[in-house]
């Protein structure tokens, strides 16, 4: 504990000298800072861990999904962990930089189902416009090492993102849960607010993701709550 405290103090001095990115906790929207304050020690510990590695997404984008006010979130889509390919992950689950081509297989399958469901064609991988409309795209594990999936699965991220799910569930946010990792959060949401299926990965998409019509399901639930539909 003493060693970790000294490392944190050294880190803060380097940050103050503008030689390192801001602390992770400071990158949260103030509303999320308040909500996650009880997890601050864990987040600071993860911050130290990440600064010693080459990670995806970049350090300044790890909390991009939590950069908006809580009240602006109408829908949350949970992923597993970031794309490990350098230059792909940019802080939003399933999303990639607009310049990325070809698209990752899971995202291609999401777009196939979007077309089947609502006849919408998307070609670029950046889902930032979904976030702007109130769709939170967040992974259960918010970082990984470049080139290695699930490298940070034991870093403590699940505790943080479970707290996020609890906060959103209390606010009756619609939860899109794809795959077993996301379905672990089912208990935090009312059954009528959940849209679920297997993961869109090529390994599982044909076992229930294709044909599940998640996008129209979400919009139907939003309208029932008096909200505007998402323009997917």
Alpha-carbon gap, residue 229 to 224, rounded angstroms: 10
Alpha-carbon gap, residue 137 to 132, rounded angstroms: 11
Residue 114 belongs to some domain of the structure: yes
Residue 3 belongs to some domain of the structure: no
Alpha-carbon gap, residue 217 to 204, rounded angstroms: 20
Burial of 211 (0-12, 13-18, 19+ CB in 10 A): exposed
133-153: pLDDT as tens digits: 999 999 999 999 999 999 999
**Predicted pLDDT of residue 17:** 46
Alpha-helical (H) ranges within 67-226 are: 105-118, 128-132, 157-170, 180-183, 214-224
Which residues contact residue 136 at a Cβ distance below 8 angstroms, ignoring those fewer than 6 apart?
65, 66, 68, 73, 75, 76, 77, 168, 173
Among the residue ranges 12-16, 60-64, 103-107, 175-179, the one predicted with the least confidence is 12-16
pLDDT band (50, 70, 90) for residue 221: very high
Residue 192 belongs to some domain of the structure: yes
pLDDT band (50, 70, 90) for residue 196: very high
Active site members: 81
Residue 231 belongs to some domain of the structure: no
Domain that holds residue 94: 23-224
72-99: pLDDT as tens digits: 999 999 999 999 999 999 999 999 999 9
Q: How many domains does the chain have?
A: 1
Residue 15 belongs to some domain of the structure: no
Residue 200 belongs to some domain of the structure: yes
pLDDT higher than threshold 50 for residue 119: yes
Residue 66 belongs to some domain of the structure: yes
Find the CATH number of the domain harbouring 197: 3.40.470.10
Residue 17 belongs to some domain of the structure: no
């Amino acid at each position: 504990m003493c060693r970790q405290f000294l490392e944190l103090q050294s880190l803060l001095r380097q940050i103050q000298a503008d030689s390192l990115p801001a602390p992770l906790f400071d990158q949260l929207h103030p509303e999320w800072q308040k909500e996650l304050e009880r997890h601050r020690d864990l987040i600071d510990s993860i911050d130290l861990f990440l600064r010693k590695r080459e990670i995806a997404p970049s350090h300044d984008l790890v909390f991009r999904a939590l950069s908006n006010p809580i009240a602006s979130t109408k829908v949350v889509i949970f992923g597993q962990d970031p794309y490990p390919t350098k230059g792909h992950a940019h802080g939003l689950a399933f999303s990639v930089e607009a310049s990325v081509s070809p698209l990752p297989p899971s995202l291609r399958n999401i777009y196939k189902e979007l077309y089947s469901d609502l006849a919408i064609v998307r070609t670029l991988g950046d889902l930032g416009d979904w976030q702007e409309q109130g769709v939170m795209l967040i992974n259960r594990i918010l970082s990984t090492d470049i080139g290695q999936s699930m490298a940070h699965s034991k870093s403590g991220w699940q505790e943080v993102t479970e707290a996020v799910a609890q906060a959103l569930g209390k606010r009756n946010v619609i939860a899109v849960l794809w795959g077993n990792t996301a379905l672990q959060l089912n208990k935090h949401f009312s059954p009528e607010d959940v849209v679920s299926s297997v993961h869109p990965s090529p390994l599982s998409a044909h076992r229930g993701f294709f044909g599940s019509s998640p996008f129209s399901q979400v919009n139907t639930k939003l309208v029932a709550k008096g909200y505007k539909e998402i323009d997917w």
